[in-house]
């Protein structure tokens, strides 16, 4: 009897486990760097990711900066031939040629942000924002900038990193493109990546299908038993 009960419970328990497996969030942190004032040469660093899932679902970038002038900053993330502008001279527009004032920031750039960082305003910024996403030269005229930022987002498929295999070398570039705002220092930066392990998903799909077949098979077995029971009752009545 105990073995029969375990036989019924085990497939259900394993099926329930298989549908709750999720990919984790992996964090990569990198070192700091001094940003040359008024130089498009800027500063760059790479982060090599390995052992992640094979299909990217979400990526966000944290930037911790002190000093400098926000309206002078330009930064992008590059990976797999795709470049997404993170900062592009915050606040610069046809009505504000100098951009946002502010001596540094500690921000996360993510598609979950409610406001584009280009429209974040003055002061030392903190919190979560959408990446700037306007892919034009930071030396373009002020009239070329949209006060609300651009349309490129980090997790988009094709124009962003959505569905890409994240295992490889990611590059962050950061520059202070207009002189006179003081020395800026990138105190640190990090990537948060969520990726789905596709081969596991396929295996889980097959396994879940197997669980379904087990359930169906058991259902058919029950129906057959009920049918035989009904036939037996009818025969007994006829005999009486």
Q: Taking Cα atoms as reference points, which of 89, 115, 111 lies closest to residue 174?
A: 89
Which residue, chain included where needed, has tokens 């700091």?
32
Residue 158: pLDDT above 60? yes
Which tens digits make up the pLDDT trace of 213-236?
333 344 455 455 545 545 454 454
Percent of the chain with pLDDT over 90: 63
**Beta strands 39-49 and 33-35, pairing class:** unpaired
Q: Which tokens hold the place of 182? A: 């003081």
Residue labelled with tokens 């930066």 = 189
- Give which of 9, 154, 10, 163 is closest to 86, Cα–Cα: 154
**Whole-number average pLDDT of the chain:** 80
| Number of Cβ atoms within 10 Å of the Cβ of 230 | 10
Question: Among the residues of 19-164, which ranges form H helices?
Answer: none
User: With 90 as the cut, is the pLDDT of residue 1 above it?
Assistant: no
DSSP H helices, 59-158, are: none
Q: How far apart are CA 20 and CA 10, in angstroms?
A: 16
Q: pLDDT class for 25, splitting at 50, 70, 90?
A: low
pTM for the model stands at: 0.74
Quote the CA–CA distance of 153 and 123 in Å, as a whole number.
24
Average pLDDT value for residue range 140-159: 97
> Tokens 């800027």 map to which residue?
42
Give me the pLDDT at residue 179, please: 92
End-to-end CA distance of the chain: 34
Please tell me the predicted confidence (pLDDT) of residue 104.
95
Distance of CA 101 to the CA centre of its chain: 29
Of 31-40, 156-165, 230-239, the least confident: 230-239
Q: Mean pLDDT throughout 127-148? A: 97
What DSSP element (H or E) covers 238? helix 198-239
The pairing of beta strand 125-129 with beta strand 33-35 = unpaired
CA distance 117 to 156: 18
Beta strands 125-129 and 104-109: pairing type?
A: parallel
Rounded distance between C-alpha atoms, residue 165 and residue 80, angstroms: 9
The predicted model gives 91-99 an average pLDDT of 97
What is the greatest pairwise CA distance in the chain?
A: 107
Mean pLDDT of 17-22: 33
- Exposure letters 44-81 (e unless 16+ CB within 10 A, then b): eeebebeebbbbbbbbbbbbbbebbbbbbbbbbbebee
């Amino acid at each position: 009897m105990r073995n029969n009960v375990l036989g019924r419970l085990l497939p259900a328990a394993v099926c329930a486990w298989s549908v709750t497996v999720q990919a984790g969030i992996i964090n990569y942190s990198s070192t700091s760097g001094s940003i040359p004032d008024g130089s498009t040469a800027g500063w760059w660093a790479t982060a090599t990711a390995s052992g992640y899932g094979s299909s990217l679902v979400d990526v966000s970038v944290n930037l911790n900066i002190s000093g400098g002038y926000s309206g002078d900053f330009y930064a992008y993330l590059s990976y797999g031939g795709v470049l997404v502008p993170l900062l592009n001279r915050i606040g610069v527009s046809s009505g504000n040629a100098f951009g946002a004032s502010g001596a540094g920031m500690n921000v996360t750039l993510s598609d979950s942000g409610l406001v584009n960082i280009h429209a974040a305003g003055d002061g030392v910024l903190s919190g979560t924002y959408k990446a700037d996403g306007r892919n034009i030269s930071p030396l373009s005229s002020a009239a070329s900038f949209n006060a609300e930022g651009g349309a490129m987002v980090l997790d988009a498929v094709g124009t962003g990193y959505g569905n890409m295999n994240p295992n490889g070398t990611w590059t962050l570039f950061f520059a202070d493109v207009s002189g006179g705002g003081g020395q800026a220092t990138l105190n640190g930066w990090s990537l948060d990546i969520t990726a789905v392990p596709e081969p596991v998903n396929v295996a889980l799909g097959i396994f879940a299908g197997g669980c379904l077949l087990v359930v169906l098979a058991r259902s058919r077995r029950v129906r057959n038993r009920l049918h035989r029971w009904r036939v037996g009752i009818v025969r007994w009545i006829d005999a009486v």
